[in-house]
Chain A
Amino acid sequence: MKLLVVDDEPLELEQLTHMIKQKWPIWEIHCAEETSQALKLSREQKFVLAFIDIHLPGISGLELIETLKRENPNLSFVITTAYQNFAYAQKSIKLGVVDYIVKPIIASELDEAIKKFIERSGYSLSKTIVIEQVLEVIGRDFSQKISLESLAETVHVSPTYLSKKFSEEMELSIPSYIMKYRIEKAKSLLLKHPDYSMALIADVVGFHSQNYFNSIFKKYEGLTPSKYKELKSGRYD
């Protein structure tokens, strides 16, 4: 699942990426600050959903949507804007956008928009109740050890069936999903609680050793957790 986010404010790109990653850790998110960059990315990647700020310099967000849609008719759109403008809303309905989010971004409204997209497009993290339940359990118990056997038992299917079904639907294995989920949680904790020690964070997100946490984090993010914290928690300007 690949997403495109377009906004001329770098901070807004970070916010949206962060919020979406919290709920849907395996989605791949690409950001563009300018329309030309958005068009270029759209030609290289196969996006299924795009968040577009209506107020962009150069061509307007609505024009960008028209162009992107021409090139990729299967792409869905969510508009973000600080204006509550009836004319824009009307035009965006005509363009068939999924939803219209007014800034400041309210978490529940963003969730609502993504849910609408999933319902409309049939794209989903999970296509069946069983997998949905599994995702819920992972979201709840990620701090502890999660085994395939215990997951299978919770949803009343056999471990082999669950493993196969999960890989089919999610296009990645249960252990990789759990790992990605833990890394996303760790990233958010690193920023929200700069006072937490690495050992504590590793423990809270379910890694039994700090070394293991460090090496996995580096494998996924390309840098160590402490480097990540240093880089991201710096002053903005």
Chain B
Amino acid sequence: MISYNFFSMALMLGTLLPVTGFVIILLLSFLEREVNILEIENKRVSLEHELQQSQFMQLNQQIQPHFLFNTLNAITSLGRLGRLEDSVKAVEDLSLFLRYNYMEKEPLVTFEKELQHTENYLSIQKTRFGEKLQTVTRVDSKASDTLLPPYTLQTLVENAFKHGLDKKTGGKYLEISLHRQGNWASLIVIDNGPELRMEADRPSGVGLKNLRKRLEITFDMRTELTIQRKEEMTEARIVWPYTPEVKL
């Protein structure tokens, strides 16, 4: 005969076990849902990050409208004055400049490509300002094969015009130089524009803010962007990890 105690125990177990099982199953599915939500959340964050990155890229692609209209004006001038060769050259420069802007870009480009793009821009500016504009480019051969985010040089040069050279009467001077110190590459753009009006005038500009952010996103190491006044000139300098192109 089974004892009364044993019977009541078996009865309890018989009712409790299915109930706890049921509860556990419920909890499990709930946990699973929670994990799923976390995963989706994670994906959303990384997508947002990517979107932000591509927005940063695009922001910098915008061509300044007054540059475009001034260029078109210079081209019509050349045409009206009968300088056929010069006007064709100016249209070519503008076309190459636009082509680079509308090209799909990798997060990193070669310095050579970036410099070519800026040279197209400078060639157009020389058509406008003639001999008043002098430019010098110096490239350290130990650094010339480095990669950098697209529009890095162009942003610095456009900035030098917008805040410096456009406000300069008489001769305009611009110097571009690329250097390397060990594992670090640095790019320096110097212009002889007038004194900064306010410290906040330049480094807080959208273009530079955007460039700083892009450098941070692209490299997980230390990067620098500084602007300072040196011997009657304005010097913009960026430093980033020297990243040579891997040739396969």
Contact = CB atoms under 8 A, between A and B. Distances in A.
B245 to A, nearest CB: 33
A8 B171 CA distance: 11
B86 interface: yes
Interface in B83-116: 83, 85-86
Given A11-B127, A82-B66, A233 B73 contact: no
A158 to B, nearest CB: 40
B39 interface: no
Given A55-B166, A58-B169, A11 B128 contact: yes
Interface residues of A, number: 33
Question: Which among A11, A82, A232 has the greatest number of chain B C-beta atoms within 10 A?
Answer: A11
Contacts of B168: 57
Interface stretch (B49-57, B74-82, B145-153): B74-82
Interface stretch (A66-74, A139-147, A168-176, A188-196): A188-196
A9 B131 CA distance: 10
A128 interface: no
A19 interface: yes
Given A55-B166, A82-B66, A237-B131, A105 B76 contact: yes
B38 interface: no
A122 interface: no
Interface of A: 8-12, 14-15, 18-19, 33-36, 55, 57-58, 82-83, 102-105, 188, 190-194, 232-233, 235-237
11 contacts: A8-B129, A8-B132, A9-B74, A11-B77, A12-B77, A18-B80, A34-B169, A57-B167, A236-B83, A237-B126, A237-B130
Q: Which 3 interchain pairs have the tightest Cβ spacing?
A: A191-B82, A15-B77, A104-B73
Interface of B: 66, 69-70, 72-78, 80-83, 85-86, 126-132, 166-170
